[in-house]
Chains A and B, each alone.
Chain A
């Protein structure tokens, strides 16, 4: 190689590096979604379809980190918790504005938090139920707490505590909060990186960059890099992928795991598997009697353990997730904060399963029925595989296919023996999933009817334990006890599969599901 070409190469390399440092500004990213949002209010909304858009429109005082495990400053540049753990003081950034240019005040924050914690509003107020009162003064917001709450910083980084403009909301037509929310949600104004500009329901949604966004990019100018973010609603998986391959859209979410390998091989496409907090399991009814009065063998812990030992998770991961999943070791995902890495979960041990069934008095095996969501290829593949695995130890599985609404109605009424289930955390804290899966609470531990007095006690303690090490120890104990009691069947964790054109840079989906477009750019 001569000197000249070497120099050319060096310059070219330098240019590539500087190019990759400075993201391209401007342009439109078209992103294919599998379904449209329903209702864009951060407090009254419920579905992931809303949440994953809301986080682009509204900003929170704190934000989850990119790994979804901790929090970082958001609209509040810092926060401090008093020594007794019962007061939290947050300092708002100065000069921050909503997308219409009006300033964000401490009064807006107080009003937003008061609205979010009102028990009459939506399903999420429980996340900040430890707040007793909110005071606002200058750029300081002070939260007085009923008890020390280690999960509060994470709650202040969760969508339902998004800060909204009080004056604009109050000016929306409507007699009460619910009516105003409907009107405001048609044209929401927040302080997130984007602002809703057009929404044709069921078809597309256009978000424009918020010119007043406070965060700066690598070029020291305000984020986001994109001018426009356009969401196209394409419910059919195959069509979404075809559109991406044809270059009509630049990104597509919810790629079926069966298509991942094929898209990875496509030179134009960047097939990304983002770590998630999603766990896939079988939820069992643990009660001695089923709703119809018949005896339930699943009330015996040995039977539940046997079923867990009789699952070949690695085979399921190949069959159902096409090699993209990993075995569950605890009821919470390995991406959930305070997941205990020393948890063993269950090994595949059919002999042990047979022995446990025999010990429980079921030497001739048992009959069980599981509800599946009709039309779900994953449920079908999963339960058919389980039928084989369990059949080998004498468990005869019957599959009952139901549409999602019927299935939900049945398990909410505790009228089921087993069902396929899945969970994704909304908050960077283990308390949400633990409250739902492991303690009696209002949902009777995911409707299993399971309850363990020690877990109940440990959970209450963990909810006010501010010492991180001690709290981790409590969660370790909860996870160990839960696995031993086996109220559910551990299956696998699955990633979020998002396919992007290679020209798309800087997109991130965090383990809580939030799509982060603020640093996304399209390279020319």
Chain B
């Protein structure tokens, strides 16, 4: 892998961030409803609303507000939450690890479920095994996340009492235990996406000429699977997984609400409903950084597995 490729990919991220900042700033300020009215509610008089807007600098022209925002970000400061009155960086630092934990956990569970089942389905293609695997995940894909979440909670949490209902615990072991159901919810959704693509990828490799050749050479099925098929199938899995991390974070918004997990997903929803501009802006930037990083890593891993990728 060439270092120039890595540098080029890194530099591409800078204009992306700028674009994200401009877009987010404009979008959140252009939607109707302002933080002060939302927060002060019915009882506030126009006087009080005007004074609060002045104190928060929300009465300044948009361009001035944007300048202040960019200046802040360049100084490593994401501002202060209007509603919670604490620094946005602190809010994100408190909650991001929880969401990341959940995302990684869900991705692991998703891959652990998807890879063996996809290979099994591909190897036994057009048998009842294949049909069952595909049908189960097709159903999984069509069910809404909150529905699956509630069903898992009701069955495995409330009825059988195997897992706690909501929360995320204090220690690492606690986190694994508390976040199992939400991670499973997201993992199932991810696995459903992965199984479909992975199955066709494996079938494609299995019927490729070089595999036919290897088989003709007398190589065992196990070696063919691990040396040729999985390596090639993984390329598409990694790309697909990378693309789906964004969706996982999106899914976390719902999962975090149902399972009462105080992650950034829920923080974002609360901030949007409360029109808490600094929090929305700070979180969007954070998401942009995260997703860019994931894409970067995906591309690098992809380039490692398939050197042709560097040329594109």
Contacts and interface: CB of A to CB of B under 8 A. Distances in A.
User: Counting chain A CB atoms within 10 Å of each CB, which of B46, B166, B262 scores highest?
Assistant: B166
A242 interface: yes
Contacts of B262: 200-203, 233
B266 A446 contact: no
Interface string B54-84: 0100000000000000000000000000011
Contacts of B260: 232-236, 239, 243
Contacts of A124: 43
A412 interface: yes
A250 to B, nearest CB: 14
A443 B32 contact: no
A402 to B, nearest CB: 8
A409 interface: yes
Contact of A246 (B94, B157, B274): B157
Interface residues of B, number: 48
A120 B55 CA distance: 11
Nearest to A446: B42
Given A39-B85, A232-B167, A443-B42, 7 more contacts: A123-B45, A201-B84, A202-B95, A239-B260, A246-B161, A248-B166, A405-B33
B173 interface: no
B40 interface: yes
B5 interface: no
A158 B51 CA distance: 24
Interface string B166-178: 1110000000000
B37 A47 contact: no
A405 B158 contact: no
Interface string A224-267: 00000000111110110011011010000000000000000000
Contacts of A403: 33, 273
Given A201-B91, A236-B260, A248 B165 contact: yes
Interface in B130-157: 150, 153-154, 157
A410 interface: yes
B38 to A, nearest CB: 5
A262 B46 CA distance: 44
A202 B266 contact: yes
Contacts of A122: 48
A232 B262 CA distance: 11
A235 B257 contact: yes
Interface in B244-289: 257-260, 262, 266-267, 270, 273-275
A282 interface: no
User: Counting chain B CB atoms within 10 Å of each CB, which of A185, A403, A408, A442 scores highest?
Assistant: A408
B150 A201 contact: no
A443 B45 contact: yes
Given A232-B260, A405-B275, A242 B267 contact: no
23 contacts: A38-B83, A38-B85, A46-B44, A120-B51, A122-B48, A178-B55, A200-B262, A201-B94, A202-B270, A203-B167, A232-B166, A232-B167, A233-B260, A234-B166, A243-B165, A243-B166, A246-B158, A404-B273, A408-B37, A408-B38, A412-B37, A442-B46, A443-B43
B259 A239 contact: yes
Contacts of A185: 85
Contacts of A442: 45-47
A412 B275 CA distance: 16
Contacts of B91: 201
User: Counting chain B CB atoms within 10 Å of each CB, which of A38, A233, A436 scores highest?
Assistant: A38
Contacts of B43: 46, 123-124, 436, 443
Given A242-B158, A243-B165, A248-B164, A410 B42 contact: no
Interface in A176-211: 178, 182, 185-186, 200-203
User: Counting chain A CB atoms within 10 Å of each CB, which of B34, B45, B85, B150 scores highest?
Assistant: B85
A65 interface: no
A245 B31 CA distance: 40
Please name the 4 residue pairs, one residue from A and one from B, whose CB atoms are nearest each other, closest first: A405-B33, A202-B262, A442-B45, A203-B262
B33 A408 contact: yes
Contacts of B94: 200-201
B165 A246 contact: yes
User: Counting chain B CB atoms within 10 Å of each CB, which of A46, A178, A200, A239 scores highest?
Assistant: A239
Nearest to B51: A120
Interface in B1-46: 31-34, 37-46
A200 B260 CA distance: 13
B38 A405 contact: yes
Contact of A436 (B42, B153, B267): B42
A442 B94 CA distance: 40
Contacts of A123: 40, 43-45, 48
A234 B266 CA distance: 11
A353 B257 CA distance: 44
A79 interface: no
Contacts of B150: 238-239
Contacts of B49: 412
A409 B33 contact: yes
User: Counting chain A CB atoms within 10 Å of each CB, which of B95, B157, B165, B167 scores highest?
Assistant: B165
A27 to B, nearest CB: 20
A182 B34 CA distance: 21
A406 B273 contact: no
B267 A202 contact: yes
Interface string A404-434: 1111111010000000000100000000000
Contacts of A423: 42
Contacts of B259: 239
A243 B154 CA distance: 10
Nearest to B258: A236
B208 to A, nearest CB: 48
A38 B267 CA distance: 12
B273 A242 contact: no
A379 to B, nearest CB: 15
Nearest to A238: B150
B212 to A, nearest CB: 53
Given A235-B266, A246-B161, A46 B39 contact: yes
A235 B34 CA distance: 23
A230 B43 CA distance: 30
A322 to B, nearest CB: 20
Contacts of A410: 32
A391 to B, nearest CB: 29
User: Counting chain B CB atoms within 10 Å of each CB, which of A123, A126, A248, A423 scores highest?
Assistant: A123
A406 B31 contact: yes
Interface in A369-415: 403-410, 412
Contacts of B38: 404-405, 408
A405 B32 contact: yes
Contacts of A232: 166-167, 260
B83 A39 contact: yes
Contacts of A120: 51
A409 to B, nearest CB: 4
Contacts of B157: 242, 246
Contacts of B275: 405
A172 to B, nearest CB: 13
A203 B263 CA distance: 9
A363 B18 CA distance: 59
User: Counting chain B CB atoms within 10 Å of each CB, which of A242, A245, A404 scores highest?
Assistant: A242
A38 B276 CA distance: 12
Interface in B207-263: 257-260, 262
